[in-house]
Amino acid sequence: MVRLVYSIIIAICIPFVLLHLLLRGIRSPEYRSRRLERLGFFKAPEQAQDFWIHAVSVGELLAAEPIIRELQTRYPAKRITVTTMTPTSSALVSKLFGDSVYHVYAPYDFPLFVGAFLKRIRPKFVIIMETELWPNMLHGAQKAGCSVVLANARLSERSARGYKRFLLLLSWLFDSLQLVLCQFKPDAERFERLGISPDRIRVTGSLKFDMQFDAELAEKGLILREGLDSEQMIWIAASTHEGEDAKVLAVHQELKQRYPDLLLILVPRHPVRFDSAYRLAHEMGFRVGRYSERESLLPDEDVYVLDVMGQLMRFYAASDIVFIGGSLTEVGGHNPIEPGALGKPMLIGPHYFNFEMICREFMASSSLSVVQDDADLKVQLSRLLQDPKMAAELGNAAFDVVEKGKGAIARVVDAIAPELD
């Protein structure tokens, strides 16, 4: 009954979702193509697929990459379909795997669309990344006889409380999961509180620690800095959200009074805000550069707006201090592992609930510090700028945290191997 009501609501929403997709296609041409895939209609692969791996967007796809590669290594004859929801992640699938996997957009969560998708893919095993629990997707996979695993699973205390309120209505949702492979022990405990049997829960660690990075990133960071004075300091505000750019720029304005050569690399999370961030920096009187006009950094710039996707790691490598956005506002923060893997000291706002346990791993080594607001951000940045030796030591500590966290890939594939044999 609950799923029926949910499906009726989805049916009512679908025309509006399709209209949104149409309008978005006007602004972003990449959304115009392959629309029928989202309704479950596409050219089916010639053979049934052994694995269906669902990674909603780029972050989840990057976490899924090592699982996919490990599966391809251990089970080279098995066929893999990867679904995502965005054109950016679709392009990344092609870049990472070429023709070695089959890619299609995930269907909207309506029984007709999910059924059409499953009929074409015919998967035996479903791996869902992190938190994507869609009722009709899970029900359809279970009905089709698929084994369903939630991998790299995380569940915040806030989300657990939300599920708990409706547990009588949602218990069937969790019953469809054969395995829940959690990032950390508190995640496992929260899933257990929701009624999932302990024998279906494992703690495998976070796959994000096992992400593969370009071995030449450090050198690429140095190349970006070639035009700067060797002593010039750079801090990067990465993945900022609405309302954060102004705060970050105001902090930078104050810091420039003491550190006139200080350069800020400003990286809005979403492309729709690239231009507004650039304009705001200009309006505040900064000398501003942007990637779309020039890739290199100049010594006489105050702010550089990274207005392109896919280049963040290079600019992390070029920076001395990292502030992780989405955390001064209640977005929940972003992944600290990427700058940590490059040995950077990190700051984050008080709202880091999306990556709470990972953040706590870094906090335990003092390589990630929490700033309560923009005023505190200025204080903590000043502390690091005044003592480059301490900043470097904290960066080394961050790198050590990443190294110690590795090994989740093998644990995940080992956990699902008995289901495959």
Q: Cα–Cα distance between 304 and 267 in angstroms, integer?
A: 9
Catalytic residue among 30, 37, 60, 189: 60
- Per the annotation, the verdict on 219 as an active-site residue is no
Q: Cα–Cα distance between 138 and 135 in angstroms, integer?
A: 5
Contacts of residue 130, defined as CB under 8 A and 6 or more positions apart, other chains included, come to 56, 60, 63, 150, 151, 152, 153, 154
Alpha helices in 75-195, H assignment, sequence order: 87-97, 111-121, 135-143, 157-165, 167-175, 185-193
201-203 sheet: strands from edge to edge: 102-105, 80-84, 51-54, 125-129, 147-153, 179-182, 201-203
Contacts of residue 284, defined as CB under 8 A and 6 or more positions apart, other chains included, come to 249, 250, 253
Locus of tokens 């620690």: 209
Residue 103 sits at φ, ψ, to 5 deg, of -115, 140
Q: Cα–Cα distance between 399 and 345 in angstroms, integer?
A: 9
The distance in angstroms from the start CA to the end CA of the chain is 36
Q: Cα–Cα distance between 336 and 352 in angstroms, integer?
A: 10
Task: Quote the DSSP letter at residue 344.
Answer: -
Active-site residue list: 60
